[in-house]
Amino acid sequence: MLDTMYKNKNGRKSRSNGGWKKGGTRNGSRFGNNKKRFSGNVIDERLFVNKAQKKEAEEIFEPQYSFASLNINKKLKEAIANHGFEKPTPIQDKAIPVILEGKDVIGLANTGTGKTATFLIPLINKILRFPDEKVLIIVPVRELAIQIQEEFELLVRRMNLSSVVIIGGASMHRQINGLQKRPNVVIGTPGRLKDLVDRKKLKLTQFNNVVLDEADRMLDMGFIADVKAFMALVSEQRQTLLFSATFSNEIERLVKDFMKNPEKISLKTRETSKQIDQNIVRVSSKDDKVEVLHDVLNKSNFEKALVFARTKHGADKLCRKLYQKGFKVDSIHGDKPHNKRQRVLKSFKQSSINILVATDVAARGLDIPNVSHVINFDLPATYDDYIHRIGRTGRADKQGIALTFVG
């Protein structure tokens, strides 16, 4: 329905149709010329305005299962409790028991609903029962891969299980060494995974468990052919889990080709969280947008603000201007070296900086605590991009604020 609410001026984005594509970059983000460009979509600005609603008592979710009642390894139960998980989220409550049964699962849920633990918990339990099991987790961006590994390591502490992250921008030599140690879990982005498959350093036939996380984002970024190629190489006797915020026709075709009688679990109830107060900031051609942003930030009682710019150059430029105005700020985008991106994210999570200027690389999958404000300094390319941008706030039952600059 939302697709009818804006007009696409430049037509559809192109995507590759099959096989490995030559001439790609090696930064773990995309191959060939399938770069996502601003499409010029005109989004109805009324979609950027929505008053936050208080959570009513009857909306409080009561799970059918508890983590303690699940038929999983005792050490894993202890790790879950130590991790601070008190009770399953809706997607965890519905999907974990099904995954434990060995079924293929399609999980559709809003961002920030605990999807990572939804697949990690049953797969870790499976490895503990059957040590020869190998898990491949494919994600669209580096930061999400690292985030998944961090959660994996917390859950498997003192269990003698291992993982390796395969992403661009980091040492390939170190990643090859990690693969030679035969880890239980490999987490990677398509670009670097493809590099290591081509170099015969990664043999996908050994993997009998596959997770496609943020599947819609991977397809948006032009990874459809690469995902198909990976799925054709892994073991035919496998369990496949797909998690996504949306279920497009392309994902449906992918499911038909590579999943066996999957159980679809959909808990996506609305496009945006009720806990996000959404509004617009009107700017005219005569206004200096940076000065307007300066005033907004000074007037806002914010804890952390995530500011979205459309381009990498624009993010860096805006970051410099805000820094010159005395704000504690840094920027993140796809051209920044991997180590630098991690340092910036760590600084933002630990509140060493309280403003992060980002491109859409930060709009999906990242769990950054206590983001009180999301500010769309530049308009998103699509309404879906808007949804994922503002999904960085209003998490864990907290109220958030989303502001969008419009001319």
Question: Is the pLDDT at 385 greater than 90, yes or no?
Answer: no
- Rounded Cα distance, 5 and 47, in Å: 9
Q: Does domain 59-266 have CATH number 3.40.50.300?
A: yes
DSSP 303: S
pLDDT in tens, 69-93: 999 999 999 999 998 888 899 999 9
One-letter amino acid of 390: I
What tokens does 86 get?
A: 């008190």
One-letter amino acid of 251: I
Question: Is the pLDDT at 7 greater than 60, yes or no?
Answer: no
What tokens does 28 get?
A: 């773990």
3-state DSSP assignment of residue 179: helix
Q: Contact, 271 vs 256, CB < 8 A? A: no
Above pLDDT 70, what percent of the chain? 84
For the residues 331-351, what does the mean pLDDT come to?
A: 88
3-state DSSP assignment of residue 268: coil
- Rounded Cα distance, 118 and 107, in Å: 9
- CATH classification of 271-406, choosing from 1.10.760.10, 3.40.50.720, 3.40.50.300, 3.50.50.60? 3.40.50.300
Dihedral sign for Cα 139, 140, 146, 148, please.
negative
- Rounded Cα distance, 270 and 291, in Å: 34
For the residues 3-31, what does the mean pLDDT come to?
A: 37
Query: What is the predicted pLDDT for the residue at 233?
Result: 97
Q: How many helices (H) and strands (E) does the chain have?
A: 13, 15
Query: What is the predicted pLDDT for the residue at 300?
Result: 84
For the residues 276-293, what does the mean pLDDT come to?
A: 92
- Rounded Cα distance, 122 and 104, in Å: 12
83's CB contacts (< 8 A; 6+ apart) are: 154, 155
Q: How many CB atoms lie within 10 A of CB 12?
A: 7
H helices of 88-223, where? 90-100, 115-129, 142-155, 172-180, 190-198, 215-220
Query: Residue 143: which of 123, 170, 119, 106 has the closest Cα?
Result: 170
Show me where the domains of the chain are located: 59-266, 271-406
pLDDT in tens, 177-186: 999 999 999 9
Question: Is the pLDDT at 320 greater than 50, yes or no?
Answer: yes
Comparing 59-266 with 271-406, is the CATH topology the same? yes
